[in-house]
Each structure stands twice: as C-alpha cells, then as structure tokens.
Structure 1
Amino acid sequence: MSLIAPNNPPFPAYRATDKECFAYDSTIRRWPIILDSVISDVEQTLVEETNEASQEEGRVILKAVRILKEEIAADKPLRLLNDSEDDVDTWNGHIQKYFPDVTWFTGTWLFNECYLYRRLRECISMTTHWRDYDPFERQKIQTFRGSHASVFELARKMSAMTYPMTEEQLEIIYDELVQVCLWGNATDLSLLTNMTEEDIKRLQAIEKEHMAAQKKLIVVDDIDVVWGKIKTLQNSRVDFILDNSGFEVFVDFVFADWLLQSKKASKVVFNCKTIPWFVSDVMPKDVPILFDCCFDRDFFPQKEERSEEDFVALKIMAQRWKDYIANGQLIIQAHSFWCNGLSYWYLKSEAPDLFEDLKKSNLVIFKGDLNFRKLVFDCEWPVTTSFRKAIGEDMAEKFTSIVTLRTNKADTIVGLKEGKQEEIEKVATPYEWRCTGKYAVVQYNEPQQKGQM
C-alpha cells in the first residue's frame, strides 16, 4: 500500500471527477450558488457604503469572487494564495507538498472545498476597509430568526429545570439535549440552497414524538455509550468543536449550560473558526451577535402565543451564558487549524499545541458533517469499518474521549453493523441516507491500549 497522504487517503478520496458522488454536485451546483450569494451580499453592502475608498475595495472584491467562480467552472489548477494572512505559508506549503498541479475537479473534495473558503477570505483580506467583513453574516442572523419557535421552547424548558437533579433526571434531559444538539446541525446554510422555511422548521422540531421518530434515523447510535461517559464526569472540562452558528450553536450553549449547572463540567470550551467558513460556521464574533439577538425583544417575529415569561426566560438564560464567559467557565477560542484543508489525522503533527490542549479535556464533542469528514479522512471506507480505525491512531489512541454528532450530508460513512446498509437501502437511496441530512450518526471513541483498534 502506498504512503497515506492528504491526496492519498487510506481509501480513494471523493473527487469532483466522479459524477456519482456528492463532490461533483457540490462543485458544479452548490459552490456557484454560494459564490452568487456572496456577490449579492457584497453588492447589498456596497449600496449602504458611502466611503469612496471602501466602495472601490468592494468592487475589487466582486471582481475577485467572479474570477474565482470562473476558475472553478473552467477546472483551473489550484493556485497559491497571494495574501499575507498568518496561515498563508501553511496553505501554500500544503498545496506545494501535497496538491501540486491539481485542479478544482481533480483535487480531493475535502481539500478543494476548504480551499474555496480560504480563497474567499483572500478576496476580502487583501483590503483595508473590508477586512472584518463576513459575507455570510446576514444569512446566519436571518436563519436564527427563523428558528424562533424552537428557541423559545428550549428557553422555557431550561427555565423550568431545578438543580441538583437525580441521575435519572439528568439522563432524561441528556437524551433530549443530545438529540437536539445532533439534529440542530440540520440547519447548515451551505446546504440549504433548495430548502424551504418549512423544511428548516421540520428539521429543527423538538417535540418528543418527533425525537422518537428521528432516533430511528440514527444509523450508528452511541447515545447511550456517551451517557455512560458523561455520567462519570464531575467538574470536568468538555470541549465543543463547533459547526454552525444560529440555532445550532444556540443549542450548543444550552447543552453547555446543562453541563455546567449539573456540575458535570466546571469548564466548557467552544472552539470556533478563524474566518468565514462553509457559510454558517461559528466565529468568535458570532457569539455576541447571538446574545444581542436574544436580548432584543424585536428580533424574533412577534407571536400571540408568546408570553412575557418566554422573553424573560430567554433573557435570563442568555445572561447566564454571558456570565459564564465573564467568569471563565465558558471559553470561546479559535485556531487556524480548523480552517485548513487537512484531515484531523494531521492534528498532532500540524497543530501540536492544539492537540495537547484538547488532550486535557475529558470529552471533545465534534459537531457536524465537515468535522466528521475530517475525522475519518473523507474517503471511501468500507461502511463497516470501525470509527476507531477510521479516525487514525493519533486520534484513537493518543488523544482523549471524543464523540461526533453528525447529520449525514456527504458520502463518507463508517461504523455500520453488517447488513445495516442493506436494511437502510430498502427504504432510502444511497444519496438520501448519506447526503441529505435526513439520517445521522452519533459515534464515540474512548482511547484504549494500542492493538485494540
């Protein structure tokens, strides 16, 4: 077997040259839609801009994004980055070492998709007046506004909780929260190009009946195993490797709140992205925006059935989260490793500082589809490959306890029991259960002695 490398994973990588996989659909359909949305947002921002120098820079950004879109359509080679951001040498080193001469179609889908968002950052970072501009911020905020029913439902439930709780009570709440935390990932703006508001509401619904039905769609279900870990925790550290902003990170805050109030954790760390990433991913600046939305009585649509107690419950909860940050119980941090194009097989070698810091955590929760793809190298594993094997030795044996909460939005999948794929495909096409977010996995790994993979 040839040496494993970013452009040569353990099994064939997904590439846009394969018209049967989601990589092809992303490259020819989703990415142009996303870039068009960026162009529209820049144009809208330009209308509001009065500074002449800033207007000129906005026009430069528009030209750069259009060139990027043309490069993809023409299947041009990936070029080196031209800006002076802190990570430019890392990115250019990866291109030169692992991906020389690859194109938008021939490179791995994982690296190319990450490179797309880094190129978008380049379009913006080479300006003076637009450096802090997030072309996806309006979409993030608008999607959170559309989640109002679930937001207030969760606020009511959390306000009704009293501590301390029995282990039985904690388990009941955990079982609901972990599922809400899982299915909240269904709201991924990079994938909602054809999804209606009703589709979003359906995916975010948190009624018990819906949860029971949704649980049947978890094709690898380690929820009980994860509870076995969490119930042993006491004043521990728990890390979230975040995915989407808006309702999903709102639910992550709810989960973190429960961990802190129940004393399962004394410290929770939210690991964010450093740049606008995959449309909806959380950056540190998105956190105060979320709080401001929760404190603004006029932000969410007004509903007759919404009581004063609902607004108070949401405000009290958001204020408690702010207090956690102020007193160091909740840490918001970001690292450039989360915004490069490599699998997490390279976390230890590429970001040893981050690897060692995360090892101090008692549990690391990886949210969402991209984190899953990066954990398992985003390649065509046999579906019955164990999660432990797919995440590589460093993550499986030399790291800490991890869980991945992922709604399936890409082809790669591991951890299925023998016969499970055939069972699923009696009722769902491969595309439906692997790529639409309708199905999900909750997978756990506890470090064990070498040789037990």
Structure 2
Amino acid sequence: MALPPPLSAKDEKSFAYATIKDRLPVIVTRIVDFLARQRGKFAQEYGDEAENECKSCISAMDKLRYEIARDKPIFLLNDNYTDDIHLWNEYLQKEMDQGKVISWFQSSWLLVECYMYRKIAEAFFLTKHLQHIDPFIEMKQNNFYSSSKAIDVLLAQLNIDFDQTINLMNNKSTIEQQFYNYMEISLWGNACDLSLSAGAECPQEHDPFHQITELKSHILINNQTSVFNCLYDQQAYLLNFDVCIDFVLDNAGFELLTDLCFADFLISKRLCSRITLHLKCLPWFVSDATKNDFQWLLEQLNKSSSNPVWQIASKRWQEYIQNGQWIIQAHRFFTLPYDYSYMQKISPELYYTMSQSKLIIFKGDLHYRKLVGDLQWPLNTRFETTLRDFQPTSLVALRTCKADVQVEIDEKLVEQVTKLDPKWMINGKWAVIQTFFKKTT
C-alpha cells in the first residue's frame, strides 16, 4: 500500500509549520527562563560545578533555538543515556543513508518535534548533577494547583460512586451512564495540554460533570457505547478470569487525575481486573506524565489534610498499586521517533504484552498521531487502514484534536464543523472517541 506523505512544516499553511516556527522556540525559551531562575538553587545543592552545568544547559537551549529558527540540519545524538540512544541514532542514520537531509522545516513533523524533546534531554544527560532535572516540572505542578476546585468536585463524586458500587452492580443503565461521564471527563482532560499552549497555564476551572454536558456536541466521533459493551459483556466473568486493560497516558496534572478517576471507575465496577498504566520515561512534550509526576500527584492528594476526599482517593489508588490491580510502567518506545506500526519490530515484548489486553486506551493527540503515522490521510480513510501493522488487540483513542490529521470521519460533518470553527482540527476544542475492534477467530 502506497502511504501518503507525512505531515511536515514544508507546508507553510499547516499546523506543523506554526508549531516549529512559533511554539517550539517559545517552549525552549521557557526552559532557559527556568534554568536562569534555578541556577542559584542548583549551586547551593550541588556546588559550583552544577552552576556551570546549568550555564551549559542554557547554552544548549540557545543553540537549539537558533537551529530550529534557521532550519539547520539534524545530527546524531551524543549523550550517555544508553536506554534509547542507539535506537534514535539508528533511525537518524537510516534516514541519512537514504540521502535525506533531516532539518526542522523539511522533514516529518513527528520526527523533528520528538527530536527536539530528546535534544532537551540530551543537554541534561551530559551533566553530572542535573541529569534528574525535569525542566517542565514547574509548569506541570502549577497547572495541577490551578485546577484544585475542579479536582475537589471530581474526587468527591468519584468517592460517592465508589461507595455505591455494591448496590449498583446489577444496575447496567446507571453504570453505563457513569462510564460515559468518567470517559468524557478523561477525554476533555486532554485539553489541559501545555505543549499546545507552549507552556502557558491552561487550568481546569469548571465543574467537570457540568462541562461534559456542554461539550457533548463537540465529540465528532463517539464510539463510547461500543467500548462500554465490550467491557460490560465480560463483567460477570471477572471472578474467574483476569481481564487486563492497557491505558497509555498523556499529560500530567489535572489530565492525569481524570485518567486515574476513569481507571478507578473501571476497577471498582469490575469492568476489568487489572490496568497497566503507561507513562513516559523522559520529560516529554512539556506536560506528558512521567513516573515522578504520577508519584508527585499521589503525594499531593495524600498530604491534603484539609481535604479528606483527596486523601481517600489517594489511599484507594495506592492500594490498587500494592495489590497489583494497577501496574505502573514507563517503556522507552513511547519516547522514540517511531509511530506505532513499528512497535512489533522495535519493541516486540511491549507489543506482545499489549496483545494480551482486552482493550488499549490511548490518550491524547500525540498518541493518535503515532497510531495513524502522522500521515496526510484522506478524511474518509478507515481507522483500521491507518493502523497498518499495529493491531495487537482492540483499542480506543480518546483525543482532543490538535493536529491536522483525522480519519474515518464523515465529510459532510467536516463541512458543518469547518463552518462553525475553521480551526477545529488544531485548537483542542473538538474531540473523538474512536475505536478499532480486533476480530477474534
């Protein structure tokens, strides 16, 4: 099958062009600001050598910003992070061996955007004292704090729904409606994306349960009923069988909290018995969640003595982890430049474990781009076609639209939405709940 070309900043009318020209340099600048403010703290903690390392990171950011702005060539990585550097450099070398000049505005958007975050990580890996520093940590944590009112509402209702679990186990219609509520709250949590805002705060200030009612008409593809039926149909067998879901997470902060609420609901209502929560192993796309972000969130909930609903949820989630109902993982594949059609070849062990799941939930725009290869597919292309060699099991993508790619969508609907909002594909105000169900033999 001949594939369409990748999204690229070669098209000056594309969101890829706007991203590389405007958003990425702003993100790098915010890192420079962070380092300038933290330099004295690093010197106090680690000595003068750390202050000099901080200066070297600032210099690396200035160089990176210059190279992006002037469409300079991209070269191999040169740090000591052995987990992935060979895979990155093999990918880049293969592109170069094919005679391609890899540069910021001429190459595929997915490659160069991922490369920028890996170059940011490289600057820190080349230091002795700052290798563990997350340059986006302040932005992520501030976003969480600024959403505290919405968190109060969400966790209070979650705890009520958990307490009513036994009484509702045979009430399918109530469980179904609650399922839709928590799935949609998780979906719209994806609007809190600091890479889209170039690091500017985007707090959740509204009642999430009220908000999903207002946003229902903004879900352009809504296959949530099929997802619910897929999980509910095997609910009765959970006492005898292990039913696992993989949840590939996106952003930290409020979005991560909404995802954990959805995961809590799925466990408590016995729609699955185990959930593997996949996080990033590196600071990524500004606000993507790492294991440190996950642990920090639990700590914030647990130490909030003035708000017991936070502590109740945190205690329950820690119990899920301790008894194996939640499994926390961070695999290197999620911060490589490859789209998901390469997973069988690059990370066969991850592909195999995912193939054992009943369902994979993919959160966010970047995962959607990687599912469909970030290619210029016609709008009416079947989702299954765009997945190509990534079909380990059934999957659902929960995505607010932030890139100019979307598949299996009615063209008449596209015309209507475009009249209402010409930027619907890129502004995060529209969403899809899109499914692929693997046929069983």
Q: Specify if TM > 0.5.
A: yes
- After superposition, residues 46-57 of structure 1 pair within 5 angstroms as 46-49=39-42, 50=44, 51-57=47-53
Change (3 A) 1:193 1:120: closer
Matches of 1:206 and 1:25 in 2, distance apart?
30
Partner-residue secondary structure (3-state), 2:71 = coil
Q: Does 1:68 align with 2:64?
A: yes
Deviation at 1:169, TM superposition (A): 1.5
Partner-residue secondary structure (3-state), 1:404 = strand
- After superposition, residues 5-84 of structure 1 pair within 5 angstroms as 10-49=3-42, 50=44, 51-84=47-80
Q: Does 1:424 align with 2:429?
A: no
Matches of 2:60 and 2:418 in 1, distance apart?
43
- After superposition, residues 170-319 of structure 1 pair within 5 angstroms as 170-193=175-198, 200-201=203-204, 205-208=207-210, 210-234=211-235, 235=238, 236-297=243-304, 311-319=307-315
Matches of 1:233 and 1:79 in 2, distance apart?
50
Range with greater deviation from structure 2 (157-166 or 401-410)? 157-166
Matches of 2:432 and 2:234 in 1, distance apart?
23
Deviation at 1:195, TM superposition (A): 6.0
Q: Does 1:97 align with 2:97?
A: no
Matches of 1:207 and 1:338 in 2, distance apart?
31
Q: Structure 2: which amino acid aligns with 1:423?
A: Q
Deviation at 1:418, TM superposition (A): 3.9
Range with greater deviation from structure 2 (40-49 or 27-36)? 40-49
Which deviations, in whole Å up to 9, do the C-alpha atoms of 1:72-94 show, x marking residues without a partner? Answer: 11111110000121211100110
Q: Does 1:413 align with 2:406?
A: yes
Range with greater deviation from structure 2 (228-237 or 246-255)? 228-237
Residue in 2 that maps onto 1:108: 108
Matches of 1:216 and 1:233 in 2, distance apart?
30
In the alignment, structure 2 segments of 5+ residues that lack a partner are none
Range with greater deviation from structure 2 (57-66 or 413-422)? 413-422
Residue in 1 that maps onto 2:390: 395
Change (3 A) 1:190 1:287: same
Q: Structure 1: which amino acid aligns with 2:165?
A: Y
Deviation at 1:193, TM superposition (A): 3.6
- RMSD over aligned Cα, in angstroms? 1.7
Residue in 2 that maps onto 1:302: none
Q: TM-score, normalised by structure 1?
A: 0.90
Residue in 2 that maps onto 1:336: 332
Matches of 1:212 and 1:46 in 2, distance apart?
46
Residue in 1 that maps onto 2:363: 367
Matches of 2:327 and 2:53 in 1, distance apart?
35
Moved over 4 A (4+): 194-197
Matched residue pairs, number? Answer: 423
Q: TM-score, normalised by structure 2?
A: 0.93
Deviation at 1:201, TM superposition (A): 3.2
Change (3 A) 1:112 1:193: closer
Deviation at 1:205, TM superposition (A): 4.2
Change (3 A) 1:426 1:151: same
Partner-residue secondary structure (3-state), 1:11 = coil
